[in-house]
Amino acid sequence: MKVAPNLEQIDIAADFGQMLLIRRFEEASARLYTQGKIRGFLHLYIGEEAIAVGSIAVLQGDDYVVSSYRDHGHALARGMEPSVVMAELCGKATGSSGGRGCSMHLFDASRRFMGGYAIVGGQIPIAVGLAFAIKYKRENQVVLCFFGDGAVGEGAFHESMNLAALWKLPILFFLENNLYGMGSRVEQMHSSGRDLYLAAEPYGIPAAQIDGMDLLAVRDATTEAVNRVRSGSGPVFLEAMTYRFRGHSMSDPATYRDITESEDWKQKDPLERFKGLLLEEGHMNLGEIELLESEAMAAVEEAVRFADASPEPDIASLSDHVYA
């Protein structure tokens, strides 16, 4: 796939502002976790923002997005309200699922954001089911399914790829390869090492590896892939090379990673990289960038205030939405 970045064809302020929002939201989430206001597991998206923003921005409103447990960035990029997302992370009644889903299970059917899933690879068959329904009903949506490098070793991944290829389903498989499955390097988990996009080859699915730290590279590759999928040509597989700047979850100090490696990847920070490009080419000035930064901070501060002020779920509702 050719990647030819074109700043003239995108809403620069919206994309950069969205990346800033996700970064500041995740930093605030980390603070709330250390204060005990967010409990359970919390997997941060810091370092991977260009993928969520660059890919989801090219979708139509009626397309579907399915995510993994590292889902905050995808949810925000799909347009979920930061206040509602933060309330859900804090387990409050005003959250997107009434405080029942929390960090790993964000969901908003009105935006066709069909959830984060805690089981590694568990979301992939669900995404394929959605794609099958689209084809069965002769509709024109596509499904964008995110997953991590650890999911490539799951049987559900291969079964889903096989069915999607056989039935030419309208799905884009999007692998966020951050080089680690929990504490194991990708080379220790997969025989193909860092080239996991090759897993699509036995199924005849077109695949490419892209720079997941480059917003424009992600945008252009996703645009080309989505256009192909929507045309009825069947699934596409993209592998975006990226890096999580924090541990696997908030409980992970990431001592298994080499400090030099982490610092090298932080030099590729997608926010700083895109900001540098905007300044260098004269698309924005420092004042405009500072305004976007303040807007992102204000939105996150309001989200924290909203979550803090929101009530806990009523104990009388404990059995609501439970099948018996």
Residue 1 has pLDDT above 60, yes or no: no
Residue 3 has pLDDT above 50, yes or no: no
Where do the DSSP E strands lie in the chain? Answer: 64-66, 143-148, 171-177, 180-181, 184-185, 207-211, 236-241
b/e 180-206 (16+ beta carbons within 10 angstroms → b)? bbeeebbeebbeeeeebbebbeebebb
230 Cβ partners below 8 Å, 6+ apart? Answer: 140, 142, 170
**Two tokens at 36?**
């005990």
CA dihedral 144, 228, 158, 200 (to 10 degrees): -120
Most confident of 100-104, 142-146, 181-185: 142-146
pLDDT-derived band at 323 (thresholds 50, 70, 90) equals confident
d(CA 156, CA 143): 17
d(CA 308, CA 196): 42
pLDDT, residue 248, reads 84
d(CA 46, CA 222): 21
Domains of the chain, residue spans = 8-251+258-305
d(CA 262, CA 47): 11
pLDDT-derived band at 142 (thresholds 50, 70, 90) equals very high
CATH number of 8-251+258-305: 3.40.50.970
270-280 helix and 49-56 helix, angle to the nearest 10 degrees: 60
Averaged pLDDT, 228-236 = 97
Q: Could you read off the pLDDT of 6-42 as tens digits, one per residue?
A: 565 578 889 999 999 999 999 999 999 999 999 999 9
